[in-house]
Amino acid sequence: MSNGDLPPADRDDDRPLRVMPWWLVLGGFVVAILLGWVVVAWLLKEADQGTTRAQLRIDAIRTGLTVVAGTGGAVALLLAARRQWLSERAQRHQERVDARTQASQEQSTAATQQHQDRLSRITEYDATERRVTELFAKAVDHLGNDKAAVRLGGLYGLERLAHNNEEYRQTIVDVICAYLRMPDPGTTDDERHVRIAAQRVLFPRLSAGSRIDLFGAILIDLDATSCMFAKVDFTRAVFTGGTRFDDAVFADSAVFTDATFDGDSSLLRTRWRTAADLQGVTFRGASIFNEATFERRVSFGGEARFLGETAFRGARFADSSVFDRVTFSGKVSFRGAAFDGNVSFEHATFGGETSFKDVSFADMAMFRRTSFKGAGSFENARFGGYTGFERSEFADGITFEPQHMEREPSFGHARIAAQAPRIWPPNWRETPVEDGWVSISPRRGA
């Protein structure tokens, strides 16, 4: 703080002290004596003019001395007052100096303490980093051991590190994913146990909020029930045995391109908050998506195959859905499903009984060049937009009794097996097209 920033009292106290010169004190007493002499002289002169000259002269001298004494007393009082003022100023100055000294000491002590705390934190951080690095290196080394028991110890060591050191969670997840992506050296029970343990450590204990990269991984009897996925990549992954994703949530990115599910797969009540990429996926066993919710675009196109029973009962598709060129070999049920956006089954093949009963198509629904080799049912379905069955084929009959149609569907060049059961809305007209096949015209006849 500069002198100009100080209050007036502090500026006065900070001015340098000046010693009163000796001649000023001497001058004060000389002035007192001269003043007394002038008064005496004037009074004596006045006394010479009176009748009682002697008495008056005595009084004049007494008065002059009184003036001298009074003037000297005033000078002495002034000196005493200055001495008191100097004493008080010195005291205030000393108090301010002491306060500044104490504040400076406190600041210095605080700075020293902060420095020590910082050094302590750095030392503690370095020690923790070294300890974690050593434990991590040791666990990874165990993961590469030939003995299954040692590899299991490495896995659980990594899991403990991930729980105690959140900043290393993603790195540890990447290491476990890399282990699962490694080619399976054999089908021994020991390796099977280690891989299942790695999956259990990963799902659901470490998967929440982590990036999961299992491109081409081999997964055994995977149970990811109720997992919360951020970004997950199962491209070309192979799911052997039974697979469960019941009640799982896919929040950011979900890729299953060209994945293979060798056993039965359960995806009950899964919630897809991100676009779902399942192009080219193969389900060799049953695949159950009942009550699943797809909030963004979903694609099963690109030669996806459902070789067992398939169920999307009660599923909801909030955005566009693509099932182009998908093969459904077994029984298929979309009963009670809701398609809020466009849906396309173009060039798809349904090999078994297919049910779209009670399904709601809010927007355009495309079934062009679709092959229904088993019986197909659209009983009580609701069509809110354009519906196209152009060049489709129904080889084992069809039940087409919609509850509501905003527009009449198009069956241009579609053909239906003449010997199979067929149920149409009233007054729809069939026309033979070739041996054993008929076409249908939604136009009402006479």
Question: How does pLDDT run across 382-434, given as a tens digit for each residue?
Answer: 999 999 999 999 999 999 999 999 999 999 999 999 999 999 998 899 999 88
Q: Is the pTM of this model over 0.75?
A: no
- Whole-Å CA distances, 311 to 164, 298, 307, 355: 42, 16, 12, 10
Spatial separation of the C-alpha atoms in residues 236 and 402, rounded to whole Å: 39
Q: What band does 446 get if pLDDT is binned at 50, 70 and 90?
A: very low
Sheet holding 332-333, edge to edge: 243-244, 265-266, 287-288, 310-311, 332-333, 354-355, 376-377, 398-399, 422-423
Provide the CB-side half-sphere exposure for 159 (13 A, CA): 17
* Residue 183 confidence (pLDDT): 80
Q: Which of 100-114, 141-155, 356-370 has the highest mean pLDDT?
A: 356-370
Average pLDDT of every residue of the chain? 85
CA dihedral 116, 119, 125, 129 (to 10 degrees): -150
Spatial separation of the C-alpha atoms in residues 120 and 229, rounded to whole Å: 38
Name the more confident of 59 and 323. Answer: 323
Q: What band does 273 get if pLDDT is binned at 50, 70 and 90?
A: very high
User: For residue 215, is pLDDT > 90?
Assistant: yes
- Whole-Å CA distances, 324 to 263, 298, 299, 348: 24, 11, 8, 6
Is the CB of residue 350 less than 8 Å from the CB of residue 325? no
Which residues lie closer than 8 Å to 129 by C-beta, 6 or more apart? none
